[in-house]
Amino acid sequence: MRYFDVFNGDADGICALHQLRLADPLESTLVTGLKRDIDLLRSVPAGDGDVVTVLDVSLDRNRDALEAMLERGAVVHYFDHHYSGDIPAHPRLTAVIDDSGAACTSALVDRYVGGRFRAWAVVGAFGDNLDDAARDLARPLGLDAERLEKLRELGTSLNYSAYGETEADVLVPAADLYRIVSHYADPLELAQKEPLVARLGAQKGADLERALAIAPLREAPRAAAWLLPDDAWARRVGGTLANRLALADPSRAHAVLTFRADGNLAVSVRAPRECTPSAVEFCRRFPSAGGRAQAAGIDRLERTRLEEFLGAFDAAWSRDAVDLRRAS
């Protein structure tokens, strides 16, 4: 019997897996990648009797690989909060999935393990830009404001490390970051003792400062879009910038576009709170899209479809957008 742990390389995926392995330690093969490395199951050679745990990875994007894995005889435990579509009914599949937008994967695992490692769920929720959910999770822990802020900063720093098109864009690969995290039972101890956390935080701050100095490409009261330059720092910070903008103005939709190596674009979208369409509903109008209600993305938007995207984005949440390139 072999064990495989398949997880998104962001804060939510890392903290979800860490909770499970604190509850049930075992040696496994790690399968992960950057934030946009979604199609992970197709690389897992699990067969009869093997056990695969999947965390924070869209079932909808991995449906064919999941069904093939189950047919080969693998047992699969699936935890996720992204759009799933129909969940296969199979005796070897245990699915703990909630794509309502109310909880991140770390929160789902927190429920599954009975809240035994709650502080890690708080870190994962903060990393996933679910600040209200993180504070709700943290309430029974009785943390003071300083410690809660340390968990928030840890979550956003771990999450920042997942963004980039290639591992050359990031400071540390996701599997290596998980292994570092796995040595700590207490996230506050990790934040205090691990030099890498300080490096991630410092780099995040520097990249975010550069990004916030860039004017939006398109702006309206209800929707705004940014196009960042073709550089490694911009590919790292795209998701973090989208999260920061959404927290600063939750009544407005935000899109952050970054360049891919092939000259096309990757897109991070944040929907306004309590608005339709949801972020994932909007992004699914384009190929290679996925996500959840408040936060979603398009992995590859053809450069020639930029105007089409901006027009659809304007129409989805606003009727009075101003194209700042043409207004200047």
Q: What is the DSSP letter of 271?
A: P
Q: How many other CB atoms are found less than 10 A from the CB of residue 167?
A: 14
- Per-residue pLDDT tens for 248-264? 999 999 999 999 989 99
Helix (H) or strand (E) holding 97: strand 93-97
**Mean per-residue pLDDT over the chain, rounded:** 92
Distance CA 128, CA 246 (A): 12
Q: How many other CB atoms are found less than 10 A from the CB of residue 276?
A: 11
- Per-residue pLDDT tens for 4-16? 999 999 999 999 9
CATH number of 3-201: 3.90.1640.30
328 pLDDT more than 60: no
180 pLDDT more than 80: yes
Looking at residue 319, what is its pLDDT?
Answer: 53
**Counting Cβ atoms within 10 Å, is residue 140 exposed (0-12), middle (13-18) or buried (19+)?**
exposed
Distance CA 215, CA 34 (A): 27
Distance CA 71, CA 80 (A): 21
pTM: 0.87
CATH number of 214-327: 3.10.310.30
Sign of CA dihedral 169, 182, 157, 301: positive
Q: Where, residue-wise, is CATH 3.90.1640.30 in the chain?
A: 3-201
- Amino acid code (one letter) for 20: L
Identify which of 9, 40, 4, 306 has the alpha carbon closest to the alpha carbon of residue 164. 9
pLDDT band at 307 (very low <50, low <70, confident <90, very high): very high
Beta bridge pairs of residue 31: 6
Share of the chain above pLDDT 90, in %: 82
Distance CA 72, CA 298 (A): 31
Distance CA 252, CA 68 (A): 41
Q: Where, residue-wise, is CATH 3.10.310.30 in the chain?
A: 214-327
Contact 268, 239 (CB under 8 A): yes
- Per-residue pLDDT tens for 90-121? 999 999 999 887 899 999 999 999 999 999 99
Distance CA 185, CA 195 (A): 17
Contact 127, 155 (CB under 8 A): yes
41 pLDDT more than 50: yes
